[in-house]
Amino acid sequence: MKKAVILVSGGLDSATVLAIAQAAGYTCYAVSFDYGQRHSAELEAARQVAARAKVEEHRIVSIDLSQFGGSALTDESIDVPDANTSEDAIPITYVPARNTVFLSLALAWSEVLGACDIFVGVNAVDYSGYPDCRPEFIRAYENMANLATRAGVEEQQLTVHAPLIDLTKAQIVQQGNELGVDYSLTVSCYQADATGAACGVCDSCFLRREGFANAGIADPTRYQ
Amino acid sequence: MKKAVILVSGGLDSATVLAIAQAAGYTCYAVSFDYGQRHSAELEAARQVAARAKVEEHRIVSIDLSQFGGSALTDESIDVPDANTSEDAIPITYVPARNTVFLSLALAWSEVLGACDIFVGVNAVDYSGYPDCRPEFIRAYENMANLATRAGVEEQQLTVHAPLIDLTKAQIVQQGNELGVDYSLTVSCYQADATGAACGVCDSCFLRREGFANAGIADPTRYQ
């Protein structure tokens, strides 16, 4: 069985990606990040998602991005805005270089594991407008990763899979539902409380709620 | 004055790069990494190099790459080999994805600082054969970084400078010497002792010693 490293955030998208990688026959190694995010409910959700999927191993890597700040998700002094209230192209919930940092740590682990496949749940349709969720970023990252590592010298091919990138949130929910993902374990909210209950008003809650509604699937989210 | 983030390891190369960036007129922000390396003498050297250069700010970021292992530099159970004893294309001192991880954290900080320039001391001539020291890696990283961040949306241009990439170690030492770099502060050895004294036999010591010899400059390295 081929090994793959899966970025698992505790949210809806990455839980779906994990199910997709398992259905494709990969032995899955899940990695999550304790990065100074606002709430720990996200990491607890990641633990539950990884455990339910019976992954080969689940690592939680500590990397404090709050030391750089610059985002409502890592700086307590910046409020998380309600959905669709920002005029800016890039909202204040964007965490600078977050996906680049996360993919790079996943890359380090994959190289040691001898895994040639990394799965990430980025999405460029129903998303918050972050630059590091676009298809051109993923392609450029994969190209760089193949030059950065042993793969570039030993003529292996490292692939960064982003199976959700062109899907709507409704399509993601439908696909996960067919694969048996238990979305009640997942937390998408940018400011969930300690129990994982969602605010219902942030951009991420808005997209998630719309996704279930458009998919015609009951929304298992617990709201505050 | 334009801001730049400089990766400062405590070694000879990055001390030279810092001097080059300052001579070019940048306001310099130094970043070093406590990544589970064998010895802390390297970080102490980085502190001294950054302090001597009077950088605007020096951050030491903790990211434990030893949790992944796979390298003599992060796994105590793997011995550091003597210079030129390895038959492999990639030696055991290679730390998987290290430069990718370090550049990604530098990228996160630079984005928050509003800096469009990152300087890194990689070198592809007198080096240990690491894939993430090659010019094609740096170009691919820069391309990716411009898509990963605000720069890609707001039409700024982010540049990853690797001013040493085509230089021999002797040329690096000559250039640093002209810029007044105090190499006695730097530690290059893969297994320096707690005081920063070098082993004299590892690949990095070999390259450094040859560099000073070929440059005709007195070697200030303290050996064990």
- B108: nearest CB among A101, A103, A152: A101
B127's tokens: 């080096």
Q: Residues of A with CB below 8 A from B131's CB?
A: 147-150, 152-153
Structure confidence at residue A39 (pLDDT): 78
Question: Would you call A68 and B136 a contact, using CB atoms and an 8 Å cutoff?
Answer: no
Q: Residues of A with CB below 8 A from B152's CB?
A: 131, 134, 137
Whether residue B161 contacts residue B24, with contact meaning beta carbons closer than 8 Å, is answered with no
Question: Would you call B108 and A61 a contact, using CB atoms and an 8 Å cutoff?
Answer: no
Q: Residues of B with CB below 8 A from A89's CB?
A: 153-154
Q: Is the predicted pLDDT of residue B123 greater than 80, yes or no?
A: yes
Q: How far is B57 from chain A (nearest CA, A)?
A: 13
Residue A107's SS3 state is helix
- A111: nearest CB among B97, B105, B107: B97
Confidence of residue A60 (pLDDT cuts 50, 70, 90): very high
Structure confidence at residue A73 (pLDDT): 85
- B140: nearest CB among A94, A104, A143: A143
Structure confidence at residue B157 (pLDDT): 92
Helix segments in chain B, DSSP class H: 12-23, 41-52, 98-113, 135-148, 150-154, 169-178, 203-215
- A101: nearest CB among B98, B105, B137: B105
Structure confidence at residue B177 (pLDDT): 97
The total of other beta-carbon atoms located within 10 Å of residue A80's CB is: 19
Domains of chain A, residue spans: 3-215
Structure confidence at residue A153 (pLDDT): 72
Q: Is the predicted pLDDT of residue B69 greater than 70, yes or no?
A: yes
Mutate one of A103, A105, A165 to test the B interface: name it (highest B CB count within 10 A): A105
Whether residue A144 contacts residue B144, with contact meaning beta carbons closer than 8 Å, is answered with yes
Q: Mean pLDDT score of chain B, rounded to an integer?
A: 92
Q: Is the predicted pLDDT of residue B14 greater than 80, yes or no?
A: yes
The residues near A39 (Cβ < 8 Å, ≥ 6 apart) are A191, A192, A193, A194
**Closest chain A residue to the Cα of B65, Cα to Cα:** A108
Whether residue A154 contacts residue B89, with contact meaning beta carbons closer than 8 Å, is answered with yes
What percent of chain B is modeled with pLDDT above 70? 97
User: Which is higher by pLDDT, B163 or A156?
Assistant: B163
Question: What burial class does residue B65 get, using C-beta atoms within 10 Å of its C-beta: 0-12 exposed, 13-18 middle, 19+ buried?
Answer: buried
Question: Would you call A90 and B65 a contact, using CB atoms and an 8 Å cutoff?
Answer: no
Sign of the dihedral defined by the CA atoms of residues A146, A149, A151, A152, in that order: positive
Q: Is the predicted pLDDT of residue B138 greater than 90, yes or no?
A: yes
**Strand pairing category for B3-7 and B27-34:** parallel
Structure confidence at residue B87 (pLDDT): 55
A3-215 in CATH: which number? Answer: 3.40.50.620
Q: Mean pLDDT score of chain A, rounded to an integer?
A: 92
Q: How far is B142 from chain A (nearest CA, A)?
A: 9
Structure confidence at residue B86 (pLDDT): 56
Structure confidence at residue B74 (pLDDT): 86
Structure confidence at residue B205 (pLDDT): 94
Of A41-50, B63-72, B215-224, the range with the lowest mean pLDDT is B63-72
**Closest chain B residue to the Cα of A152, Cα to Cα:** B131
ipTM score of the complex?
0.92
- Calculate mean pLDDT across residues B103-128: 92
- Calculate mean pLDDT across residues A203-214: 94
Query: Which residues of B lie closer than 8 Å to A, measured between beta carbons?
Result: 59, 61-65, 67-70, 89-90, 94, 96-101, 103-105, 107-109, 111-112, 131-132, 134, 136-137, 140-141, 143-145, 147-150, 152-154
Query: CA torsion A61→A66→A68→A73, rounded to 10°?
Result: 110
The pTM (predicted TM-score) of the whole model is 0.94
Alpha carbon distance A175, A145 (integer Å): 28
Q: Residues of A with CB below 8 A from B149's CB?
A: 96-97, 100, 131-132
Each residue of A100-129: b (16+ CB within 10 Å) or e? bbbbbbbbbbbbbbebbbbbbbbbbebbbb
Structure confidence at residue A85 (pLDDT): 57
Q: How far is A215 from chain B (nearest CA, A)?
A: 30
- Calculate mean pLDDT across residues A101-130: 92
Of B47-56, B70-79, B118-127, B203-212, the range with the lowest mean pLDDT is B70-79
